[in-house]
C-alpha cells in the first residue's frame, strides 16, 4: 500500500558538500575549501603535487582526504577499529586509505595520523570532541597504520604474483589468505583486482570464511538434550544477600561437550552468581539428603540461571540445599571491587579516554583490558597502584543502589560501551567522587576489605588496547611473599651485598667482559683452524677441498671457521662436522668463484647430506648448516660431498 506523503518533495541529493561546490563554483567537491586544506597538507607530507586529474595519484589524494574524516569522527565518539561490527568498518576504511598512499603516493610510513590536528582544527566549532581527544586520535590512527603497514607490502607482492599467474580471477581461497594472513579486507582485494581488470571469487571467499567459522564452532560444540520439567516457576537470584538457599529444581537436562556428560539444572531460587560482566560463575554444591552434587560452573542463558553439575539428584522433586563456595566467592568479590578502583585510577592517571574493553574477575586474579595507545610507563603503574591502595586504606563503604537508568547516568555512573541496560540499573559507588559504575556483579562491603592491591603485568592486547593483570587480598599477599623470597634468595647467592643493584651491575659487567673474551678466543681459534685447513686442502678438479671433523664444536664455531676461511683460500669447498651435546652438526661453505664456475651451492649440498644424519638445515649458496639426531652418519658426510665435486 502506498500512502501519499503529507508534504510532497523531490530528493535532489543536494548534500552539504555538493551545495558548497555550487556556491563556490567548483567542478569537484574536492576543489572546495571543505577538502582543499586537507589536500594541501597531504601534499606537504607526501612531497607530491595534486593536479585534480583522474590519475591514480590524484585519486589517492581524494581518497585520503575523504577517508580521514570517516575515521576521525567515529573514533572520537568512542568506536575503536576492530575485527567486528562497526569497528571493522572503520578498520576497512583506514586500510583502504593506507593502501592508496602506500601504492600511489610512495609513502611507506604512517601518514593519516599527521592529518588529525588539521581536521580537528577545521571542525573545532561543529565537532569539538576531535580537539579534546586529539592526542588520543593520533595514537589510535598511528597504531592502526603502523600495524597494517607491516604486512601490506608482503600482501601486495603476494597479490601481484597471483594476478600475474591468473590475470582474470583471484580465487576465493587466495582472497581469504590475504584477509586472514595479511589483514586485507576483501573489498580492498576486490578494489585492487578491479584496477587490474580482474574479479574476486566471492563465493569461494565466503565458503572459506564459513569453513573457518565451522571449525571454531566444532571445537566448542555443545550437544543438549530436552528439558525435563520438574516444577513450575521462575528463578530468583538471592546471591547478593545470602550464600546458601533451600531450593527446588524447576527443570534439568543432559548435555555433552567434547565427549563428556554433564547436566544443566535450573532452581527456583539460587545463591549462585551466573558468569556476567567479566565475573566468573560461582561453584559449590547442591545437597539432596545424603547426596552431594558438585556445581562446576554457573552461566546465564535466555535469562535462565543455569547450574552446570556432574549429576542430578536421584529424586529431582525433593528439596535441595544450594550452597556456593564461599571462599572462592569472597576472593572473586575482592578482585571485582578492585577492578572498579583500577578503572577509576586509570582514567585519573592516563586520561578520560580510557574505557573498559573487557575484563576477567575470578578468585585468583583480575584482568582488565582498556583503550590506551601506548605502553603504560613504570611511573604511571606505580601511581595507579598508589591511588588504588589509598582508597583501600580509606576504607570507603561500597554503596549499591537500584536507580532509574537516566538518574544513574546523571549521577555520573559509567556505562560500558556496547552493553545493554534495562530501565532500572544497579549502581556501585566507592567514594562518589572517585568510582561510580553500573554493575551487576558481587562486591565487598568496604574498600578496606581488599587489604592490598598489586599490579603484576601490563601488556598489549591489540591495536589500541592494553591489559593489566593484578591481585588483591590473600592472592596479593602470597605474590609479595613469593617475590620477597626470590629477592632474599638472590641476596643469599650474592653473599648478601650491602648494595644489591651495584652487585648485580658488577656481575653483569664481569659476565659481559668474560663473554667478549670468550668470543674473541673463539674467533682466534676459528682463524687458526681455518688457516690450518687451508694449508692442508686437497685439490680435486681444480677445487681446494677441505673435509674435517672437530671435537665438540657448536654450529656457531663451525660457521665462524667457514667465514674466516676466505681470508686464507680463494677457490674452495669445505665441509666441517662435529658432535655437540650428543647431536650431529655440519657446516658447508663454497667460495663465490667456485659457486659461479662449478654451479655448486652450499644450500643444496647441505640438503643432500641431511638424511645421513637424520636431520635438516639450510642456508644460502655460500654457507649452510645442518643438525641431526644420528651422529653415526657423520663419517659418510665428508665423503658424500667429496663425491659431488
**How many CB atoms are closer than 10 A to CB 341?**
26
- Tell me, what's the pLDDT at 420? 61
- Confidence check: pLDDT of 520 > 70: yes
- Tell me, what's the pLDDT at 102? 92
| Dihedral, 238, 244, 245, 248 alpha carbons, nearest 10 | 100
Q: What percent of the chain shows pLDDT beyond 90?
A: 64
Cα 461–Cα 137–Cα 358 angle in degrees, nearest 5: 30
- Tell me, what's the pLDDT at 416? 65
Please identify which residue in the block is written with the cell numbers 587466495: 174
Q: 598: pLDDT confidence band, cut at 50, 70 and 90?
A: confident
Q: What percent of the chain shows pLDDT beyond 70?
A: 98
Q: Is 257 left (phi over 0), alpha (psi -120 to 50) or beta?
A: beta
The arithmetic mean of pLDDT across residues 53-64, rounded, is 94
- Tell me, what's the pLDDT at 178? 86
Query: Radius of gyration over alpha carbons of the chain, in Å?
Result: 34
- How far apart CA 289 and CA 15 sit, in angstroms, is 74
For the stretch 392-445, pLDDT in tens is 999 999 999 999 888 888 887 877 655 566 778 899 999 989 999 999 999 999
The arithmetic mean of pLDDT across residues 276-300, rounded, is 94
Q: 504: pLDDT confidence band, cut at 50, 70 and 90?
A: very high
**More confident position, 232 or 472:** 472
The arithmetic mean of pLDDT across residues 23-41, rounded, is 94
- How far apart CA 453 and CA 455 sit, in angstroms, is 7
Least trusted range by pLDDT, from 55-69, 181-195, 410-424, 488-502: 410-424
Q: Which residues pair with 270 in a beta bridge?
A: 237
pTM greater than the 0.85 cutoff? no
Q: Which DSSP symbol is given to 446?
A: B
Least trusted range by pLDDT, from 134-148, 161-175, 322-336: 161-175
- Tell me, what's the pLDDT at 221? 66
For the stretch 219-231, pLDDT in tens is 666 677 888 899 9
- How far apart CA 64 and CA 72 sit, in angstroms, is 12
The arithmetic mean of pLDDT across residues 608-624, rounded, is 90
Q: Is 417 left (phi over 0), alpha (psi -120 to 50) or beta?
A: beta
- Tell me, what's the pLDDT at 181? 79
Q: Mean pLDDT for the chain?
A: 90
Contact 415, 424 (CB under 8 A): no
Contact 469, 365 (CB under 8 A): yes
Contact 425, 373 (CB under 8 A): no
Q: Which residues pair with 356 in a beta bridge?
A: 370
For the stretch 370-394, pLDDT in tens is 988 789 999 999 999 999 999 999 9
The arithmetic mean of pLDDT across residues 265-280, rounded, is 94
**How many CB atoms are closer than 10 A to CB 633?**
20
- Confidence check: pLDDT of 48 > 60: yes
- Tell me, what's the pLDDT at 123? 92
CA dihedral sign, ordered 335, 340, 341, 347: positive
**How many CB atoms are closer than 10 A to CB 1?**
2
CA dihedral sign, ordered 281, 282, 288, 290: positive
Amino acid at each position: 500500500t502506498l500512502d501519499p506523503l503529507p508534504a510532497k518533495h523531490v530528493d535532489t541529493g543536494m548534500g552539504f558538500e555538493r551545495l558548497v561546490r555550487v556556491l563556490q563554483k567548483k567542478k569537484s567537491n574536492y576543489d572546495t575549501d571543505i577538502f582543499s586544506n586537507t589536500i594541501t597538507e597531504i601534499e606537504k607530507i607526501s612531497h607530491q603535487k595534486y593536479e585534480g586529474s583522474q590519475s591514480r595519484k590524484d585519486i589517492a589524494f581524494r581518497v585520503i582526504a575523504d577517508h580521514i574524516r570517516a575515521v576521525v569522527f567515529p573514533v572520537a565518539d568512542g568506536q575503536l577499529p576492530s575485527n567486528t561490527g562497526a569497528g571493522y568498518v572503520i578498520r576497512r576504511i583506514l586500510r583502504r586509505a593506507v593502501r592508496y598512499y602506500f601504492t600511489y603516493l610512495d609513502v611507506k610510513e604512517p601518514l593519516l595520523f599527521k592529518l588529525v590536528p588539521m581536521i580537528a582544527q577545521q571542525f573545532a566549532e561543529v565537532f569539538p570532541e576531535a580537539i579534546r581527544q586529539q592526542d588520543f586520535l593520533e595514537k589510535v590512527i598511528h597504531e592502526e597504520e603502523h600495524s597494517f603497514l607491516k604486512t601490506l607490502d608482503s600482501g601486495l607482492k603476494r597479490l601481484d604474483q597471483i594476478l600475474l599467474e591468473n590475470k582474470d580471477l583471484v580465487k576465493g581461497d587466495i582472497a581469504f589468505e590475504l584477509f586472514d594472513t595479511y589483514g586485507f579486507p576483501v573489498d580492498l582485494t576486490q578494489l585492487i583486482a578491479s584496477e587490474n581488470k580482474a574479479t574476486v571469487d566471492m563465493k569461494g571467499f565466503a565458503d572459506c570464511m564459513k569453513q573457518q567459522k565451522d571449525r571454531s564452532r566444532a571445537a566448542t560444540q555443545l550437544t543438549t538434550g530436552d528439558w525435563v520439567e520438574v516444577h513450575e516457576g521462575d528463578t530468583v537470584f538471592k546471591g547478593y544477600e545470602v550464600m546458601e538457599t533451600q531450593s527446588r529444581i524447576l527443570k534439568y537436562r543432559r548435555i555433552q561437550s567434547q565427549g563428556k556428560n554433564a547436566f544443566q539444572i535450573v532452581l527456583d531460587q539460587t545463591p549462585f552468581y551466573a558468569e556476567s560482566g567479566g565475573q566468573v560463575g560461582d561453584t559449590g554444591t547442591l545437597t539432596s539428603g545424603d547426596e552431594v552434587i558438585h556445581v562446576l560452573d554457573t552461566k546465564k542463558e535466555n535469562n535462565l540461571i543455569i547450574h552446570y553439575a556432574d549429576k542430578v539428584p536421584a529424586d529431582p522433586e525433593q528439596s535441595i540445599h544450594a550452597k556456593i563456595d564461599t571462599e572462592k566467592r569472597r576472593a572473586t568479590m575482592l578482585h571485582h571491587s578492585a577492578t572498579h578502583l583500577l578503572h577509576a585510577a586509570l582514567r585519573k592517571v592516563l586520561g578520560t579516554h580510557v574505557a573498559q574493553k573487557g575484563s576477567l574477575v575470578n578468585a585468583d586474579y583480575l584482568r582488565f583490558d582498556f583503550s590506551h595507545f601506548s605502553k603504560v610507563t613504570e611511573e604511571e603503574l606505580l601511581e595507579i597502584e598508589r591511588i588504588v591502595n589509598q582508597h583501600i586504606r580509606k576504607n570507603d563503604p561500597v554503596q549499591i543502589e537500584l536507580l532509574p537508568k537516566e538518574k544513574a547516568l546523571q549521577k555520573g555512573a559509567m556505562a560500558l560501551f556496547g552493553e545493554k541496560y534495562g530501565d532500572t540499573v544497579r549502581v556501585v559507588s566507592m567514594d562518589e567522587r572517585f568510582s561510580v559504575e553500573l554493575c551487576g556483579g558481587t562486591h565487598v562491603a568496604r574498600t578496606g576489605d581488599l587489604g592490598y592491591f598489586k599490579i603484576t603485568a601490563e601488556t598489549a592486547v591489540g591495536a589500541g588496547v592494553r591489559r593489566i593483570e593484578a591481585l588483591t587480598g590473600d592472592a596479593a599477599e602470597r605474590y609479595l611473599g613469593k617475590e620477597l623470597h626470590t629477592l632474599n634468595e638472590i641476596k643469599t647467592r650474592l653473599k648478601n651485598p650491602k648494595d644489591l643493584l651495584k652487585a648485580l651491575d658488577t656481575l653483569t659487567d664481569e659476565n659481559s667482559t668474560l663473554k667478549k673474551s670468550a668470543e674473541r678466543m673463539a674467533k682466534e681459534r676459528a682463524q687458526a683452524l681455518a688457516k690450518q685447513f687451508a694449508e692442508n686442502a686437497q685439490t680435486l678438479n681444480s677445487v681446494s677441498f677441505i673435509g674435517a671433523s672437530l671435537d665438540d664444536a657448536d654450529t656457531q664455531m663451525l660457521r665462524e671457521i667457514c667465514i674466516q676461511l676466505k681470508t686464507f683460500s680463494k677457490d674452495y669447498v669445505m665441509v666441517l662436522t662435529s658432535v655437540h651435546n650428543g647431536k650431529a652438526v655440519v657446516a658447508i661453505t663454497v667460495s663465490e668463484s667456485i659457486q659461479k664456475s662449478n654451479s655448486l651451492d652450499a644450500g643444496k649440498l647441505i640438503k643432500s647430506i641431511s638424511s645421513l644424519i637424520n636431520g635438516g638445515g639450510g642456508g644460502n649458496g655460500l654457507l649452510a648448516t645442518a643438525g641431526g639426531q644420528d651422529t653415526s652418519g657423520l663419517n659418510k658426510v665428508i665423503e658424500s660431498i667429496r663425491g659431488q665435486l
